[in-house]
Amino acid sequence: MTPHPADRDGAVRDHAAEVEAALAVLAGDLPLPLRVAAADQVTDDDHDDDVDGDTPTARLLLRRPDHQPDHRGDGAGLGGGPRWPAPDGSLGRLWTTAEGLVVGLGAPPSGGSEAPATEPWLVAGDAAGRCLDRDVVVVLPHDGTDDGTDDGTGDDAAVEALLCGLGAGAAAARLGLERRPAPGGVPRVRVPEALLPAARRGLAASAAVHLARLVTCAPPGVATPAAVAAWARSGAEAVGATCEVLDADALRAGGYGGVLAVGAGSAAEPRLVRVRWDGRPGSSGGASGPGAPADLVVVGKGVTFDSGGLSLKSPAAMQDMRSDCAGAAAALAAVLSLAAQRAPVAVEALLPLAENLPGPGATRPGDVVRSRSGRLVQVLDTDFEGRVLLADALTDACASRPRLVVDLATLTYQAVVALGQDVGALLARDGSAAAAVLDAARRAGEPLWRLPLADRYRGQVDLGWAVRNHPLADSGRAITAALFLDAFVPPEQPWAHLDVAGPSWRGDASADGATGFGVRTLLELARALGGPPER
């Protein structure tokens, strides 16, 4: 995302207002930045400027490197822009041509590639969405029978990812303007009628992605644990979900030693938030009845700022540490979106929220704390705080024996060392849980790669009498972090751990760099567990 230090009138940004507006959009109280509408099947040979006879409509053409439109002519593209160099199909690049706005999809994924086939559509949509200011008709780069992804993904998945990107990009471009009428009305994106349901799903998902980005990007003085908890409560009320917030007193009474230890050095006291939605037949919305475990419980790491605590980070390493709540932001946005769509699935988001600072009362290296489960945790490095925070929430997540527990966290830099900036790490004990999450990520366009939960390293974290948060080894830390979490998940509980430290952020510390990675995977996973949402 690009930085937005001020809105279009030059006024100072109000990040809290942006989050509140995004919550209102997700709940349907404010309009989405785009609309979708049906259009007749449009091919590359069609040049009608007016598709339905009432509104001039430009064209949005998606191109691979080996499929270039004719860019000859006067160069008058969308909005009469200047003639640019010939489109080469590079992923996410934009051109204005006489035919319309061209956006590159990049080369098709090669056989065996870890890149999901829908990822280019998501990226291309995000890029194009930032400059849409009028109606467009989507021109698919094929004859209508194969989207060119080579894995059978099909038009539905591609268009859903495209509209998610378009909506999220358009929302980012309109930051600060959500409460005002859009000049000329809200642009329409026209797709073939058969693809309208997929387009609507994608546009709904874009509101969740945008919300997750804004919560993550908000300055840490704005997105405090109490503020994020208040946003969760407000959002849950708006969409008909239930929300429970435990403050510091309730955490102490409940024995949440891990959450309290991480937040002990900050004047901004920690919180634990639980948002529930149950859309199964016979349920009452947010209230899950006894004996009815959730289909999916998502635990999102919510360190609203991470200084490293007494194991202080370097100044450079601290600069973008507002991003350490990306897991909680994605979990919250996904569950609120499912509730807003009245999805026939029972889901919960558990958000342990804390600010990790070295103030008075801060946890010291060597301290031993009692977790919610009763297991002792030896804190050897206060900058390895995320796993300590997650331990208590995982204990609560597993208490009702849900069908699947997933935790989402910006947990280790070694996941980035292993997989690079673009690919998230997945670790799981059993193949079925891993397969379900990987399949959802493939459909979502969010690349994940499974790393081994190698039991041979368990001795680095499990002391018998306690679990220590630092493995005393410089390698394998993505694995040992997952092994620490594994100690708080019962053996019979299906569980998957996602380390998204790499793909959750793009750009420098001044950028609005949050990507919302994980939101679409969670939505796809919930859809697979519960069935399609009501229309």
Q: Is 301 a catalytic residue?
A: no
Active-site residue identified among 387, 429, 443, 468? 387
Say if residues 299 and 407 touch (Cβ distance below 8 Å): yes
Same structural domain, 449 and 426: yes
Same structural domain, 253 and 367: yes
Residue whose pair of structure tokens reads 């600069």 in the numeric block: 319
Same structural domain, 222 and 186: no
86 or 267, which is more confident: 267
Total domain count for the chain? 2
pTM of this structure: 0.91
135-144, 219-228, 239-248, 508-517 — which is least confidently predicted?
135-144
For residue 78, give the CATH number of its domain: 3.40.220
Q: What DSSP string runs through 450-494?
A: EPP--GGGGGGTB-SS-EES--S-SS-HHHHHHHHHHTTS-TTS-
Would you state the pLDDT for residue 81?
43
Determine, yes or no, domain membership for 9: no
Single residue among 168, 203, 238 that ends a domain in this structure = 203
Collapsing DSSP to helix, strand or coil, 262 comes out as helix
For residue 342, give the CATH number of its domain: 3.40.630.10
- 107-119 residue pLDDT tens: 877 656 677 889 9
Same structural domain, 184 and 260: no
Same structural domain, 185 and 222: no
**What share of the chain has pLDDT > 70, as a percent?**
84
Q: Where are the beta strands (DSSP E) in 255-314?
A: 271-278, 296-300, 302-306
Q: How confident is the model at residue 73 (pLDDT cuts 50, 70, 90)?
A: very low
Same structural domain, 465 and 494: yes
Same structural domain, 161 and 279: no
Residue 71 has pLDDT above 50, yes or no: no
- 352-390 residue pLDDT tens: 999 999 999 999 999 999 999 999 999 999 999 999 999
Say if residues 59 and 103 touch (Cβ distance below 8 Å): no
For residue 55, the enclosing domain spans 15-203
Same structural domain, 282 and 401: yes
- 293-307 residue pLDDT tens: 999 999 999 999 999
Active-site residue identified among 13, 280, 313, 342? 313
Same structural domain, 152 and 250: no
> Closest by alpha carbon to 313, among 375, 248, 382, 229?
382
Determine, yes or no, domain membership for 283: yes
Same structural domain, 184 and 286: no
Same structural domain, 229 and 162: no
Determine, yes or no, domain membership for 74: yes
- Torsional sign, CA 76, 77, 82, 84: negative
